Amino acid sequence: MARLVVVSNRVPIPDKDGVAPAGGLAVALQAALQERGGIWMGWSGKSSGSREPERLSLRQQGNITYAVTDLTDTDVEEYYHGFANRVLWPVCHYRLDLAEYGRKEMAGYFRVNRFFAQRLAPLIEPDDVIWVHDYHLIPLAAELRRIGLKNRIGFFLHIPWPSADVLVTMPVHEEIMRGLSHYDLLGFQTDHDLQNFAGYLAREGIGNDLGDGLFDSHGRTFKAAAYPIGIETAAFAELAGKASANIMVRKARQSVEGRDLIIGVDRLDYSKGITQRLDAFERFITNNPAYQNKVTYLQITPKSRSEVPEYEQMQRMVAEQAGRVNGAIGTVDWVPIRYINRSSSRNVLAGLYRLATIGFVTPLRDGMNLVAKEYVAAQDPDRPGVLVLSRFAGAARELKGALLVNPYDVEGTANALAKALTMSIEERRERWRGMMDHLLEHDVSRWCNDFLRDLIVKTPAAN
């Protein structure tokens, strides 16, 4: 069995007791790495100041070697905060107004990818299969090929891939697309992202759809397909079933006794549509005053990427808005929105999802959105809640039992809340059962196995 090498921006290194950070993706990839033996390489998350680090720091855990490197201050600024998070992230989420095209940042992005390739290449054996993750590392395969590696290399993009109209606004779109052609397998979250990729090749005249998922571009033939990521459905459902014993979950239950709970859980990110969601909740109460004091909206939102100015600004905006809405619609004995700026353990999160009558998931654009899937998996089969989901989340293409909304349409989203709260228990069960069956069948292990199967098996036309 070929050894597996996973490369991602950050690496979920287990602590000294061997306990790995929680999360379905990390668990699934670690399982695949343990089975085959392999390496997980990436950035340590630390800065080395102004000196370029000389070697990778290695840690062995069972069959897995974790290999991480620090990055210089300049590298962190240009590659991570700069190009990855201030160009690729906003462009892929259709926020062209937020993209900042600094030449230094673009150069830094390609430079750090070359640096990663130079550090990784000496560890690679000829039969290793390499799986690269996400937008930080698009040029990595090209850099590994430049060094002479002939291994099978796959790439999975966790975020949306935009339409050609949007992508061409990025000054280095040709280089980015050339970078993608050096992989043997490209994985997208949805068929929609795949179509956008294929549409660009046709429109710019730089490649062909050969059928059967094969494409050629820049003199290479590769496969591209949609692999919608899943969660550890059965394990998460079990966690949620047991979580009612947790003290935090018990306290939460007591505090919302007699009211319906609406839950939102997101990283603090402009792509998640949190301000539009608060607007929709306010509109719902304004349109339906009978629900005053009958619902509580809990929004759990840990800070993220605070070094990027747009995120810092967003933190202020959401906090102010939550305060304003509470002031406008709250009463002496009712605080409508509870806004929490911290992350919760998976256990508590699972318990809170289960308590909630509505999972309120309304990103303006999202590759998949695992919160939507976790909410469904956490429900009590006898009394499941209702998922109100943005049509712009990748998950909307799978979770057909959700109430789909357009998050830009405040009135429509408010109406969906009203519909969810008055839905019959029979309809709730029927909608939930269909989604749960889908999630049990398409869990994260299947996602991982499907991608690896296609990466490992050489296609007839492969290079």
Which residues are at the interface with ligand ADQ (CB under 6 A)?
23, 25, 158-159, 229, 265-267, 300, 302, 343-344, 349, 366-371, 374
Least separation, in Å, of the C-beta of 376 and ligand ADQ? 13
Structure tokens at 106: 């673009």
Least separation, in Å, of the C-beta of 288 and ligand ADQ? 28
Radius of gyration of the chain (CA): 23
CB nearer to ligand ADQ: pick between 130 and 159 = 159
How far apart (Å, rounded) are the C-alpha atoms in residues 28 and 21? 12
Q: Of 120, 435, 36, which Cα lies nearest the Cα of 28?
A: 36
CB nearer to ligand ADQ: pick between 169 and 345 = 345
How far apart (Å, rounded) are the C-alpha atoms in residues 452 and 32? 9
Least separation, in Å, of the C-beta of 427 and ligand ADQ? 26
CB nearer to ligand ADQ: pick between 314 and 329 = 314
CB nearer to ligand ADQ: pick between 302 and 309 = 302
Least separation, in Å, of the C-beta of 256 and ligand ADQ? 18
Q: What angle do CA 195, 137, 57 make, to 5 degrees?
A: 150
**Element of type H or E holding 197:** helix 191-204
Least separation, in Å, of the C-beta of 235 and ligand ADQ? 13
Q: What angle do CA 308, 311, 313 make, to 5 degrees?
A: 110
CB nearer to ligand ADQ: pick between 207 and 359 = 359
Phi, psi of 361 (to 5 degrees): -125, 100
Phi, psi of 447 (to 5 degrees): -55, -50
Neighbouring-strand partners of residue 386: 358
Please confirm, yes or no, whether 93 is among the known catalytic residues.
no
Q: Report in angstroms the alpha-carbon separations of 135 from 104, 158, 220.
A: 18, 8, 21
**Element of type H or E holding 100:** none
* Helix/strand/coil percentages in the chain, nearest 5: 50, 20, 30
Please confirm, yes or no, whether 212 is among the known catalytic residues.
no
Spot the catalytic one: 93, 158, 438, 442: 158
Spot the catalytic one: 75, 193, 260, 366: 366
| Catalytic residue annotation | 158, 366
